[in-house]
Chain A
Amino acid sequence: GDSVTQTEGPVTVSESESLIINCTYSATSIAYPNLFWYVRYPGEGLQLLLKVITAGQKGSSRGFEATYNKETTSFHLQKASVQESDSAVYYCALGATNTGKLTFGDGTVLTVKP
């Protein structure tokens, strides 16, 4: 079946350091999957961070970026300089265009130290 594997947390980085959270996917039942990063900040609900629906394209939001790489089946999340407010749980997800089913990774807990 379809699956998503992401960096196992928790991940701790210092403010202003760079960050990469790895995400690789297996889309056995989806020919053209959509890829998402969702985030849950402390005390808040799950919300979309960024999405990319076309292979080879890059999505960006709040200083984060991720490129949909079909060759390596990856969608790594990167940020050049993190802030304490980026502390959250990050989820990579694979979306099926025909059913709307989202397959999530296990989530990565990120803590940014001041």
Chain B
Amino acid sequence: KAGVTQTPRYLIKTRGQQVTLSCSPISGHRSVSWYQQTPGQGLQFLFEYFSETQRNKGNFPGRFSGRQFSNSRSEMNVSTLELGDSALYLCASSFATGWVTDTQYFGPGTRLTVL
């Protein structure tokens, strides 16, 4: 079974631009979560989608948004990029139906650098 895939793997943007990251979950997984990882803050939860609906959102500004498509693929968008948005963005998928939780499997991440 193929793992979680994320594209692109590396991205360089300048301040003020916007960026869209993509995540394809493991086949059959309907829950997709997004995380930001930085050396200072560690791994932080951004949001989680299940069946095209955002179920929960972490403490990030509105510049960070996402969506999920009917095939469970998800995109994350960051508008008006700031230097502090430079990070590894990880996507994780799980089977999780309803409120039943399940193990999350992480993708390789997208390394975003904002200059």
Q: Do A and B bind each other?
A: no
Show the binding face of A for B, using Cβ within 8 Å: none
